Amino acid sequence: MRLLVRLAGGAVFLALLAALAGLLGLRALSRWLDAPGPLAEERVLIVPRGGLADLAAFLQEHEVIAPAWAFVLAARLQGRDRTLKAGEYRFAAHMPPRAVLDLLESGRIVLHRITIPEGLTTREVHALLEAADVLEGPLPPPGRNGTLLPETWLVPRGEPRARLLERMQEAMRTSLEELWANRAPGLPYTRAEEAVILASLVERETPKKEEQPLVAAVFVNRLKLGMRLQSDPTVIFALTGGSNDLGRPLTRKDLEIDHPFNTYRIAGLPPEPIANPGRSALAAALNPADVDYLYFVADGQGGHVFARSLAEHNRNVARWRQIRDGRMRGDDG
């Protein structure tokens, strides 16, 4: 009997000793989780898919954590061994293992900027998407101009190109619906698609957002009076077969081209947008400035001067030609 008591007492003692060791081990693991990691400087890594052991080995190999077995043990004890996500992550210097676990569980992956400037054709937008190495997959054939909203888009590495294109299309639809619902009264067009056409002309005439409502007002006033728009970008679009880069100044002969996009010869709007306008140009087309201008010409400083009468416009043109000719002769004055 005494022997059995001694044995039982020894078993309890060993169990208590094991429990104490486990407690000390858990405390050590907790301190390790909150201690600075070995990574000397910030690093962006693409964490691959795989099991927890493979993930821990990858992080140890790239000096994010050490040792790998402690990371595996901590993840399992916390029930996070199946919640860690693959992807591209930015790891801070000396990031504690607990913060690494939090980051991988959150899925806060690195997002890359894809900037689509305003005023590009859809073909030019497709070319930018094709050249973006963080995107993957094919694109459908280019559609109509005026269906994509230019912006700076944030995308994860591996985002399908077609998906980003769909996001741009949806953003254009949403923006147009919102702006069309709040348009100014008395506009000379009855369909939202016509506003996009006008906005594309505004976008190509001036990238200066503060000028766009004024340029839009000139075009709207001309449409109301039955005057031709006489927009140079439409002639360039016609001459190039759908591009916005002629590579040389327009000539008087260029303005005579017989083409449905040449607004020097046709009345009203061109048949389709000549580019993808940004939101500010769309807003200008749907809420132009309340002015009675009918003409504008370059001012020689990256902007334009506006006029109400042809006589005033001709004086502005003469001044612009003096500036232009002076520059061609190398005269800054």
Digit-coded pLDDT (tens) for 236-256:
999 998 888 888 889 999 999
Average pLDDT value over all residues in the chain = 90
Mean pLDDT computed over 202-223: 96
Distance, CA of 10 to chain centre? 69
Residue 249 contacts residue 321 (beta carbons within 8 Å): no
Q: For the chain, give every domain's residue range.
A: 32-109, 111-170, 188-328
- Percentage, residues of the chain above pLDDT 70: 90
- The pLDDT of residue 19 is 43
Q: Give the closest residue to 274 by CA, choosing from 251, 243, 253.
A: 243
Angle between helices 68-77 and 97-106 (to 10 degrees): 60
Give per-residue pLDDT as tens, 77-121: 999 989 999 999 999 999 999 999 999 999 999 999 999 999 999
- The pLDDT of residue 26 is 78
Q: Which CATH number fits domain 32-109: 3.30.1490.480, 3.50.50.60, 3.30.300.210, 3.40.50.2300?
A: 3.30.1490.480
- The pLDDT of residue 330 is 53
Q: State how far the alpha carbon of 278 is from the alpha carbons of 86, 197, 275, in Å.
A: 35, 12, 10
